[in-house]
Structure formats: structure tokens, C-alpha cells
Structure 1
Amino acid sequence: MSASGSADLQADAHHPNWVWRGYRAFLRTVFVFWMDYRARGTDRLPESGALLISNHQSYLDPLLIGVPLKRPVSYLARHNLFRVPFIGWTLRNTYVMPIRREGGGTESIRESVRRMKQGFLVGIFPEGTRTASGELNDFKPGFIALARNAKLPIVPIGIAGAHRVMPRGTVFPRRGRVRVVFGEPLPPEEIAELGQRGRETEFVDAVRRRVQSCCDEASAWREQA
């Protein structure tokens, strides 16, 4: 990317384009009406770039995380999707990052860190797959490399109810109730301490506990009349 392109991308981190703003406004309206959607804790997000780590209940999760925010969240998608008419245009204009399968994990780490350094939020789901039960599964340790390289805050997120609104095998969301909770960020100092070699298991467990706490809060909120 050119220097001017990098500057434009950095500006977009806090001033997203009209395409992203339009999708966000439309989806938020639909989610509130169809899913009684609510989110809280967004004021906890840092002004800098950050790594958002969430549980994974449905294909809707990236959207459920993004619609309450005024800043875009970047996710990774296969590069061949960017060649599909309209879909590719949408992905490019909503800050999704293309990743080549043959590039392996190194390319995805490099691109994700670059985005965060430019002020973007980058979202990942360390469970690696959607949960059918809604319970939080074990985390894969892949996010540790991202955290070590970015040296930026980690924000835990809990989603409740998405697995009922859009369970596996469904194409369209059902009526329901969804809650999302953004937790207190882990500061870079704590990440640097946990990110030391030999402490990988402790690091994964610490982040998972934070996400579990957000999930518990979201579930309790969802159950309230």
C-alpha cells in the first residue's frame, strides 16, 4: 500500500466511509427490531487500535459486535471472495482484510497487526468454530502471536442469544433476544507480562476467563424481563 493509501486507511479508522455507515445504520435497525438487540460497554474501548476477542455463537457475530460501534472492526476473509461481484465491493468498503490460504498464518498476523497499528479494531474468535450450545469452548492459542506483535489492548466480548437466533443449519435469523457485552480491556503492560515465552497456557486461560465473564453478564442481562 502506498503512503497515501496508508494515510487514508488510518483516517478511516475513526472516520469510516459512507458504505460502512450505511450498512451499520441499516443492520442496527433490523437487529433491534428483529432480535431485541442491545449492547453495552462500548465506552470501554480504547482510542487506539485493539484486538477484540469474543465467543462465537453464529455467523452473525461479526455484525453483532460491529453495529454498536462508531469505528469499523476488521476481520479476515478468503481473498477469492473479493473477486465476487458486489460481495468483493462490500468487503473492501467495510474494511475486511483479504487473506490468501497459501500465505499461512504469517500473512494474517502481519496484516492484522498493521491494521491495529493504524488505529483499527481487529476482531477474532479464538474458539475457532461456532458453538451449538451457546457455551464457551476452549480457546486456540493463535491470538497470542497477534497480541505479542501488536502490543495493544485486548478487549474481551461476550455474546448471548445469537446461537438461538441463528443456529447451525439456518439461513435466515429467527426472532429472539441478543445481548452483547464489551469488557474492560487488558492493558498492554499486562499483555506483555502474560505474553512471555512459556506462559502461553496462562495467557489463554486469562483471556478466556475475561470473555467468560462477559458472556455471563450478557446471559444474565438477556434473561431479564
Structure 2
Amino acid sequence: MNLYKFGKAVCGAFLKSMYKIDIQGLENVPADGGILLCSNHINNFDPPLVGVAAPRDVHFMAKAELFSMPVLKTILPKINAFPVKRGMSDKQALRNGLSILKEGKVLGLFPEGTRSKTGQLGQGLAGAGFFALKSEAAVVPCAIKGEYKRGKKITIIFGKPIDFTEMREQKASAKDATNLIMLNIEKLLMDSVS
């Protein structure tokens, strides 16, 4: 068993022992080909939750500072994480992300770039739109809803892939592409209100 699969099993057991995890829309995640998986961001546990819920291995960007920590710098690459320098245009991170998508793998992103302190969906950064426009990957919106409080229900919903054909043909801006992704995430959050 590789470290990613082991980590997924351990994280899954932990999260399921703490919260009532409800996973919806798995049928919307293509079984093969590159996928850009874009989710809202409400808690530090979001990346492991998305990783556990997704039917395929997910590659995440992680802030570069983590890769300078003794234990993490060894573990993070083995669990499909790669560094990104926040607050600037990190060309190497963009190249790494595109490479993952072109290899037919899954790139997980939180377009807001940071956790929402209010739980409300924030503004998306242009990076998500860049990946959507510059690759042929399926773009799957994802919504995490609920409170990370022991025993509480947390719902994670995978939406239908967003069709970017027209935007790619029109050479739309990365910001406009991100806005479309955020609208789809918002719709999933609204539709899931019980």
C-alpha cells in the first residue's frame, strides 16, 4: 500500500469517527482523464475530506512554507502535494498543475486561495480559471457544507462537469472562467440547503 492510499484510509477513519460524512454526486466525477476539482474552503480538514471523498487520487497545491518543515517535506510529495508560493504568480506551480492535468490525473484546488472565516463563499482567484482554460481537463465543482463539530453532519457534493468549450474557443479571461466555477460551487451550496 502506498503512502497516499494509507493516508486516505487513516484520514477516512478519523473523519468518519468525528463527523457524519455524507458524500453526494460521485457519479459526476469522470472515471478517467484529467480533472480540475474545485471546492469551497471552510476548514483545514477540507483537503483530507476532499481526498477521502473523491473516487480518484487527488493532487493538491500546498503552501510552500510547509515544504521547509523537516517531516512534512518528505511526506507531502508522497501524498501528491506540491508547493505553491502564495501571494505571487508562481510559474512553477502553474506548470506542475498543468502537467498533472495533461497526464490525466486529478488536480484539487480551493479557488478562494484561503479558508473562509465566515463560512460564506468568497471571491475566486484567477488560478482556477487559468487551469480550466489552458487544459482539456473536465472541471468538476465541489461543495463542502456543514460544521466541523464532533457528531455533526458534513456534506460533500460533486457537481456535474462544467462545459468550458465556449469559453476556451472565445479565449475568455482566467477571471471570467473562475467566476463560472464559483457560480457552480455556489449553486451546489444553495441546492444542498435542507
Task: List runs of 5+ in structure 2 lacking aligned partners.
Answer: none
The structure showing larger relative contact order (alpha-carbon pairs under 8 Å, at least 6 residues apart) is: 2
Match runs of 1:128-207 below 5 Å: 128-161=113-146, 164-165=147-148, 174-193=150-169, 196-197=171-172, 202-207=176-181
Matched, 1:105 2:90: yes
In the TM superposition, residue 102 of structure 1 has moved relative to its aligned partner by 10
Matching residue of 2:27: 43
SS at match of 1:142: helix
Q: How many residues align?
A: 193
Larger Rg: 1
For 2:122 and 2:84, how far apart are their aligned partners in 1?
25
> If the length of structure 1 is used for normalisation, what is the TM-score?
0.75
**Equivalent AA in structure 2 for residue 187 of structure 1:** D
Contact 1:158-1:216 at 8 Å conserved across structures:
no
> Mean Cα displacement is larger for which, 109-118 or 67-76?
67-76
**Equivalent AA in structure 1 for residue 125 of structure 2:** K
Contact 1:152-1:188 at 8 Å conserved across structures:
no
Distance 1:84 1:129, change over 3 A: closer
For 1:125 and 1:75, how far apart are their aligned partners in 2?
9
Matching residue of 2:14: 30
Contact 1:151-1:191 at 8 Å conserved across structures:
no
**Equivalent AA in structure 1 for residue 184 of structure 2:** R
Structure having the larger proportion of residues in helix: 1
Task: List runs of 5+ in structure 1 lacking aligned partners.
Answer: 1-16, 166-172, 221-225
**Equivalent AA in structure 1 for residue 8 of structure 2:** R
Matching residue of 1:89: 74
- Matched-pair identity in %: 24
Matching residue of 1:125: 110
> If the length of structure 2 is used for normalisation, what is the TM-score?
0.86
For 1:201 and 1:23, how far apart are their aligned partners in 2?
34
SS at match of 2:90: helix
In the TM superposition, residue 160 of structure 1 has moved relative to its aligned partner by 0.4
SS at match of 1:37: strand
Contact 1:152-1:187 at 8 Å conserved across structures:
no
